[in-house]
Structure 1
Amino acid sequence: MPLLRAKKPAVTAGSKMPKLSENQEEGPQVKRSSSPPHGAPKKRTAFIDITNAHKVQISLPGRKKKKEEAKKQQVKKTSAPSVSTNNQANLTKSSSSESSEGTPPAERETSDAAEEEEAAAAPVEELVAAAAPPAVREVPAHHQKQQIPAEFDVDSENAEDCYMCPEYAKDIFDYLKQREEAFVLCNYMPTQPSLNPEMRAILIDWLVEVQENFELYHETLYLAVKMTDHYLAKTPVHRELLQLVGSTTMLIASKFEERSPPCVDDFLYICDDAYKREEIISMEANILQTLSFDISIPIPYRFLRRYAKCVNAGMDTLTLARFFCEMSLMEVELVSVRGSLLASACLLLALVTRDLGGWSPILEFHSGYRTADVAPVVRSLHEMLSAPPDDKLKAVRNKYSHKVFFEVASLPMVSGDVLEDVLSQ
């Protein structure tokens, strides 16, 4: 049954008048003009002028009386201590006036002229000091912009490209390197009673396939692996929910990195409907709360591209280093290695494999690592890559066996003796 609208009551001669608005005062009703006064800005029809809202003074009946009474009370409170000061000021004025009245007009004029001459004869230095702006404080040394030597400057060539941020590139990666300290992990497998390193490696191998099938960015893959490790380091997970954790971290990383991320139904499909929609949404909230919504984790892939740019490495050399870095994701022993150090080790191993030299001074300047700092991680990577491949973990090797990736997975590993010669320099 449709609802009936109540009729608006008619205002009769004996009925009460409506209350006055804030801008109206008691008295005869005067119709306000819709046009603004001469010279005043035109106001909006529906909203008040927001920019001048602080200048609007609203006067209500009876408010002036309250303000006047409040002022009188304040004057009464402050009148006692101020009487003496006022009396002294009045006495000084009266004494000066009496003395001036007692002097003849000619002497009064001469005294005034003398005061003016004294004011004009004030030292120029005092006037300049009074008019000069305050001195600029020196910037502390740790806040000053670091001067990059000309031989280590790799961003000046992109001075005209605003997307490359050449003025801030060095500062950005120095900040990311400092931020790594907040995301240092250790081997968390002893705290996982239902998991082992092999299960984690199988999960990451599957995530590589997901990234390749969905054509996602490599940054998405690395961020998903980082979030998985940080979540597993804080929360025990049953082996049946491990795939749910991996697919959910990939979903979160896609929202963080991708322009057009896959939807929840896509991840339910690749899991063969092993989980429900409510489960993946609940897991997403659980992961974000466990990580305190801080998922901007520095990943080694960004450092790798930066350091490869420093030595003008070709795409084939960079792809080889990316292959080493992606293979390292499946090793739980390398979870504790910082992303910048891992990227440095992968690039150094790729340079030695391509016979392009060792760790150059420009890499030491931009990365902050020396050869002795990178050497232990390089040896671990070389030992991992020289081992026989596992038949269960084929996704990374198959991915980098394509011509698009220069078939770097089929390249032979450099010998240990050659590698030690480079690392000992």
Structure 2
Amino acid sequence: MPFPRGKKPSAAGGTKTSKVGVTTSENQEEGSQVKRSSSPPHGAPKKRTAFIDITNAHKVQISLPIKKKAAGKKAAKKAAAVSTKNQANLTKSSSLSSEGTTSEREKTDTEEDEKSEDSKAEASSPVEELADAAPPAVRDVPAYLRKQHIPKEFDIDSENSEDSYMCPEYAKDIFDYLKRREDKFVLCDYMPKQPSLNPEMRAILIDWLVEVQENFELYHETLYLAVKLTDHFLERFPIHREMLQLVGSTAMLLASKFEERSPPCVDDFLYICDDAYKREELIAMEANILQTLSFDINVPIPYRFLRRYAKCVSAGMDTLTLARYFCEMSLMEMDLVLERGSLLASACLLMALVTKDLGGWTPCLQFHSGYTPSDLAPVVWKLHAMLLAPPDDKLRAVRNKYSHKVFFEVASLPLVDVDVLEKALAPRCDASPSHLHLEPRIE
């Protein structure tokens, strides 16, 4: 059962007045949708379109840039013609002073040249003028702006060419950007900076956040982002152990505002903390986290990479769920906090593929992730040791969650054998042919 949203009882037949003196109803305070009147409020600006009022379009004169360029070209040619005329007049004056006469032929030639220049300026088309104005040589496009060539056998986005929400034209560019952005969010072991905390306390907090995500029915992206925000804040700001739950719940609130369509309100998070903190404290912690992180909370999370890489092998929902189970279990391990999200997602997917006997790391996965099996080996062995360790009775949220039928009961699957895992991690001679054009690994 989800936690009930926090609501304050209202007086019968009355309304609640805020600090600024505005009277709002209980439903408005809880964020319910209210039908608005079509008439604008008193003093509000009139409604207008983004560009121009279509009803007055016939009154608006729009000057196109190409016409301005053409006019500028014509003016320049006329100026050149006038300059030629002035030069001719000077020549004529000097001729009159020396010879005392001028020929009608020179005057006629000058007038004909002026008319010829005007007629050429009027007859030239805008296309020709733009062609004349083009630079003599086109600059080379920088390497980082060039469209990367994707071999046909590794093209996983063309099947969504009709779905604009999938962004098939630049989906790979987006994930390449997220992978480069990971350089900014590499974590270190910050526990020595936290004298009042230890890895066990952090694991208990993450276990509790998993329960919050499940009971509030939040997206998995919200959970992963909340954990990342918590880690980055703790890396920079030492806190006391009594404030650890406040940091975690506030990070979940921030992640909900970033990821959710309808995020829980502040009262909901105060309720799940059993009213251990005041509203002012949570809001102050929210401002503290944002300022500490310089308001840059778009942290690349492993869950996004996991879904992307699973598409490379057309993994089924059961295989993806198993990889998600491995990835979610890693959130509580301090040793795996230091790993990049893309690398951790790749290692979890490889373990899921081997567990399901669906093969190992394919060339398509290597092309899109940029990782080879040898790159994944250290993280895979950490994951294997984590899953092989006896479960802690205090940390049961993830195992209980993925033991449900909704998640295909993947938590009850046997762990893959070490020999099979070693064979999958062994380098292959055909794993990286020369035509793959693999991206360099970002250290």
TM bucket (normalised to shorter chain) is 0.7 to 0.9
Maintained 8 Å contact 1:349/1:378: yes
Alignment-derived partner of residue 343 in structure 1? 345
Q: Would the alpha carbon gap of residues 101 and 310 (structure 1) be closer, same or farther in structure 2, given more than 3 Å must change? A: farther
Q: Would the alpha carbon gap of residues 359 and 131 (structure 1) be closer, same or farther in structure 2, given more than 3 Å must change? A: closer
Maintained 8 Å contact 2:256/2:264: yes
Shift of 1:89: 11
1:299 equivalenced with 2:301 (yes/no): yes
- What is the root-mean-square deviation of aligned Cα atoms in Å? 3.1
Alignment-derived partner of residue 134 in structure 2? 134
Deviations 1:267-289 (A, max 9, x none): 11111111111110110000110
Structure-1-length-normalised TM-score: 0.74
Structure 2 CA distance, aligned partners of 1:106 and 1:163? 73
Shift of 1:237: 0.9
Structure 2 CA distance, aligned partners of 1:311 and 1:350? 12
Q: Name the % identity.
A: 74
Q: Would the alpha carbon gap of residues 97 and 409 (structure 1) be closer, same or farther in structure 2, given more than 3 Å must change? A: farther
Maintained 8 Å contact 1:254/1:261: yes
State the AA in 1 paired with 2:248. Answer: G
Maintained 8 Å contact 1:156/1:166: yes
Shift of 1:104: 3.8
Maintained 8 Å contact 2:92/2:102: no
Structure 2 CA distance, aligned partners of 1:218 and 1:424? 32
Q: Of residues 249, 252, 268 in structure 2, which corresponds to 1:250?
A: 252
State the AA in 1 paired with 2:417. Answer: S
Q: Of residues 264, 274, 277 in structure 1, which corresponds to 2:276?
A: 274
Structure 1 unpaired stretches of 5+: 1-40, 53-87, 121-127
Shift of 1:105: 2.9
Shift of 1:93: 6.7
Structure 2 CA distance, aligned partners of 1:214 and 1:183? 27
Structure 1 CA distance, aligned partners of 2:61 and 2:288? 44
Alignment-derived partner of residue 94 in structure 1? 93
State the AA in 2 paired with 1:95. Answer: S
Q: Would the alpha carbon gap of residues 325 and 287 (structure 1) be closer, same or farther in structure 2, given more than 3 Å must change? A: same
* Rg (Cα) greater in structure: 1
Alignment-derived partner of residue 372 in structure 2? 370
Matches within 5 A, 1:406-425: 406-425=408-427
Q: Partner of 2:371: helix, strand, or coil? A: coil
Alignment-derived partner of residue 158 in structure 2? 156
Shift of 1:115: 10
Q: Of residues 349, 359, 362 in structure 1, which corresponds to 2:361?
A: 359
State the AA in 2 paired with 1:103. Answer: T
Maintained 8 Å contact 1:100/1:108: no
Maintained 8 Å contact 1:318/1:347: yes
Structure 2 CA distance, aligned partners of 1:100 and 1:258? 92
Structure 1 CA distance, aligned partners of 2:109 and 2:229? 87
What is the aligned residue count?
A: 339
Structure 2 CA distance, aligned partners of 1:51 and 1:166? 39
Alignment-derived partner of residue 396 in structure 2? 394
Alignment-derived partner of residue 102 in structure 2? 103
Alignment-derived partner of residue 185 in structure 1? 187
Q: Partner of 2:346: helix, strand, or coil? A: helix
Deviations 1:96-147 (A, max 9, x none): 56569613435755787799999x9xxxxxxx89963414333123311001
Alignment-derived partner of residue 29 in structure 2? none
Q: Would the alpha carbon gap of residues 240 and 89 (structure 1) be closer, same or farther in structure 2, given more than 3 Å must change? A: farther
Shift of 1:418: 1.1
State the AA in 2 paired with 1:408. Answer: V
State the AA in 2 paired with 1:230. Answer: H
